[in-house]
């Protein structure tokens, strides 16, 4: 799939570090977590689909020895309660071991993320919450913060059609609802936001509306600026991206040690992600997407296509990391709910908040192993 690049000036993207303090969150003053993150870019796809965290500096497991995922969840009798699960999701998220969307429920990806985090810190990858980890989770306070909507927030929401012909007529592909905006900003399942705010009409949110949200470092779409080519970073060239298509996880490795990990959607049965060893050839932020049905279904370009402008609900999300395999890349998504649960067209799809973390941790020339 072909993506035309945006030739705009790129400014350094960063998210303010958030201390766990009970402070209201707004676009100008988000509540935060205990790490700092940076954001990044996108380019050429052969498929349709989408702010950067600093990787853990703790000792990491061998990149070729990612923990087994057969026992990634506690027994049914020992499943943690919602508060403990939410704390764990926030904790893993801030340490760049993505648990998937925050929803207060134990699921596949939280188990995989926990195992990888434990191995990265020299612990047996049990997938269980031990006493030491429980102490760390209890330090997270508050677990939830208050988000107060501003005009700047509502600027990112619009009446966006779902068909490519309609999207091609727009200047920017915005969020389709305020709930969609809030859920992605706080890495959460929209239904979890509903649960945290009983009695609120989330279909009629306005300036001044306040919501309870998970106290994570917010994904700040307003901080992301377009950039056609992220400058090379030679100091990152020896890192490796490893894509586990069966486990549906992307691991970032340095010196053969895993330093970050995120859930993905890796292709489909009809158009699987290409197995093999590849290289990153381009990194772009806020891509323009060439929607071509023939390319998406059959891998062949046609004269019938639509040019989709950039934005958080562009089919490839906010970044494109192009590989030296025509039309294949690692990118964000317009539908974070689908990560790990539905098919893509041969590419590797991440939630936008995770894609934004990955992008500033990679560089042109890096090896990508897909298996």
pLDDT at site 329: 94
User: What is the sign, positive or negative, of the torsion defined by CA atoms of 144, 191, 252, 358?
Assistant: negative
Name the 3-class secondary structure at 62: strand
Q: What are phi and psi of 148, to 5 degrees?
A: -105, 120
Q: Give CA–CA dist 308/166, Å, rounded.
A: 9
Q: What is the DSSP string of 145-170?
A: EEEE--HHHHTTB----SSHHHHTTS
What is the mean pLDDT of each successive set of 10 residues along the chain, which is 371 residues long?
38 31 38 34 32 37 55 55 97 98 96 96 94 97 98 97 95 98 98 97 97 98 96 96 96 93 87 93 95 73 90 97 93 91 75 97 97 96
Q: What is the pTM of this model?
A: 0.80
Query: In Å, what is the CA distance from 328 to each residue of 19, 195, 265, 274, 324?
Result: 38, 38, 13, 8, 8
Q: What is the DSSP letter of 112?
A: H
Q: Phi and psi for 214 in degrees, rounded to 5?
A: -60, 140
The per-residue pLDDT for 65 is 55
Residue 269: per-residue pLDDT: 73
Pairing status of strand 37-38 against strand 14-15: antiparallel
pLDDT of residue 190: 98
User: In the chain, which residue ranges form alpha helices assigned H by DSSP?
Assistant: 82-94, 108-120, 131-138, 151-154, 164-167, 178-185, 190-196, 293-298, 352-359
Q: Which of 126, 165, 98 is nearest to 352 (CA)?
A: 98
240 — phi, psi (to 5°)?
-130, 135
Strands in 14-15's sheet, in edge-to-edge order, are 14-15, 37-38, 52-53
CA dihedral 230, 251, 3, 347 (to 10 degrees): 170
């Amino acid at each position: 799939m072909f993506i035309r690049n945006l030739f705009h000036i790129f400014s350094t993207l960063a998210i303010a570090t958030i201390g766990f303090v009970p402070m209201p969150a707004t676009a100008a003053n988000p509540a935060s977590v205990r790490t700092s993150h940076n954001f990044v870019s996108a380019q050429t796809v052969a498929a349709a689909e989408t702010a950067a965290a600093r990787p853990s500096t703790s000792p990491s497991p061998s990149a070729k020895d990612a923990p087994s995922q057969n026992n990634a969840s506690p027994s049914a009798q020992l499943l943690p309660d919602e508060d403990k699960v939410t704390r764990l999701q926030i904790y893993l998220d801030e340490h760049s071991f993505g648990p998937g969307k925050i929803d207060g429920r134990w699921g596949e990806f939280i188990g995989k993320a926990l195992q990888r985090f434990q191995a990265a810190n020299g612990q047996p990858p049990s997938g269980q919450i031990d006493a030491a980890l429980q102490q760390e989770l209890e330090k997270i306070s508050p677990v939830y913060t208050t988000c107060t909507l501003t005009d700047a927030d509502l600027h990112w929401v619009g009446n966006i059609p779902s068909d490519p012909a309609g999207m091609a007529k727009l200047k920017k592909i915005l969020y389709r609802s305020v709930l969609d905006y809030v859920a992605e900003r706080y890495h959460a399942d929209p239904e979890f936001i509903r649960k945290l705010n009983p009695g609120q009409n989330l279909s009629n949110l306005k300036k001044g509306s306040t919501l309870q949200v998970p106290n994570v470092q917010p994904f700040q779409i307003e901080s992301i600026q377009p950039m056609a080519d992220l400058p090379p970073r030679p100091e990152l060239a020896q890192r490796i991206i490893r894509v586990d298509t069966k486990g549906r996880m992307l691991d970032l490795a340095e010196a053969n040690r895993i330093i970050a990990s995120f859930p993905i959607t890796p292709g489909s049965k009809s158009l699987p992600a290409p197995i093999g060893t590849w290289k990153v050839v381009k990194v772009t932020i806020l891509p323009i997407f060439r929607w071509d049905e023939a390319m998406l279904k059959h891998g062949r370009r046609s004269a019938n296509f639509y040019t989709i402008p950039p934005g958080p609900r562009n089919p490839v999300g906010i970044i494109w990391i192009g590989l030296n395999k025509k039309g294949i890349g690692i990118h964000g998504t317009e539908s974070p709910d689908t990560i790990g649960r539905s098919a893509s067209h041969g590419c590797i799809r991440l939630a936008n908040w995770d894609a934004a973390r990955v992008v500033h941790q990679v560089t042109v020339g890096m090896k990508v192993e897909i298996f």
